[in-house]
Chains A and B, each alone.
Chain A
Amino acid sequence: QKEVEQDPGPLSVPEGAIVSLNCTYSNSAFQYFMWYRQYSRKGPELLMYTYSSGNKEDGRFTAQVDKSSKYISLFIRDSQPSDSATYLCAIYNFNKFYFGSGTKLNVKP
């Protein structure tokens, strides 16, 4: 079983929509969760980082961790065409980072 699983999409939404991106993970001991955004042919850039459970908000982005169901989510409010990218969830555990396969998001103007 992979450490983290992510729906690859693609996901296409109209501008202004609320977007929900999700991952599941295998080990209930995981504590450090991250979301990265990757534009085409570029390196990933860190969007959000959360420790343990709960929500974290940064502007239009909210990261949520539900440890009881081993589920992590990224919500994007008022989505913009500039949000079109691939979003990767990641988990850190004992010196290694585990990445989901990425969800490709397209926000149509």
Chain B
Amino acid sequence: DGGITQSPKYLFRKEGQNVTLSCEQNLNHDAMYWYRQDPGQGLRLIYYSQIVNDFQKGDIAEGYSVSREKKESFPLTVTSAQKNPTAFYLCASSPDRADLTDTQYFGPGTRLTVL
């Protein structure tokens, strides 16, 4: 079964803690993305990576960090510097940017709540 998995589905964090959200894909896609979705708002890009060991900041990268040590994995760390981290986090992947016939696939999401 090909696809994108995210874990955990629900995550609770205390103030001041760092937490890491997992994203794995077995689609052999080159590019991976992290988005944040808040109620009534669209998807906002946090970070994206086009190849292993390389990633770029999106529109709201402050308070977040990522790594891309393997093609299939793109974990997101929400640090204590992120002032309002409660949101729905979505990971996505897409094939080489020159081929958009498959475009972008999304994982099921992780809902993070700060207590």
**B30 → A minimal CB distance (Å):** 10
Q: Flag if A46 contacts B103 (CB, 8 Å).
A: yes
Contact (A45, B42) CB under 8 Å given A32-B100, A92-B100: no
Tell me which residues across on chain A come within 8 A of B35, comparing CB atoms.
99
Q: Flag if B42 contacts A100 (CB, 8 Å).
A: yes
Q: Flag if A46 contacts B42 (CB, 8 Å).
A: no
Chain A, 63-109, CB within 8 A of any chain B CB: 88, 90, 92, 95-97, 99-102
Tell me which residues across on chain B come within 8 A of A101, comparing CB atoms.
40-42
Tell me which residues across on chain A come within 8 A of B61, comparing CB atoms.
none
- Which of B4, B41, B97, B109 is within 8 Å of A95, CB to CB? B97
Q: Flag if A43 contacts B90 (CB, 8 Å).
A: yes
Q: Does B31 make an interface contact (CB < 8 A)?
A: yes
- Which of A6, A8, A46 is within 8 Å of B104, CB to CB? A46
Q: Flag if B106 contacts A45 (CB, 8 Å).
A: yes
Q: Report the stretch among B43-51, B62-70, B75-83 that lies at the interface.
A: B43-51
Tell me which residues across on chain A come within 8 A of B109, comparing CB atoms.
41-43
| B31: nearest chain-A partner, CB-CB | A95
Please measure, in the bound complex, the distance between the C-alpha atom of A99 and the C-alpha atom of B40, giving whole angstroms: 13
**B96 → A minimal CB distance (Å):** 11
Q: Flag if B42 contacts A49 (CB, 8 Å).
A: no
| B44: nearest chain-A partner, CB-CB | A99
| A36: nearest chain-B partner, CB-CB | B106
Chain B residues packing against A (C-beta within 8 Å): 4, 6, 31, 33, 35, 40-43, 45, 48, 50, 58, 88, 90, 92, 97, 100-101, 103-109, 111
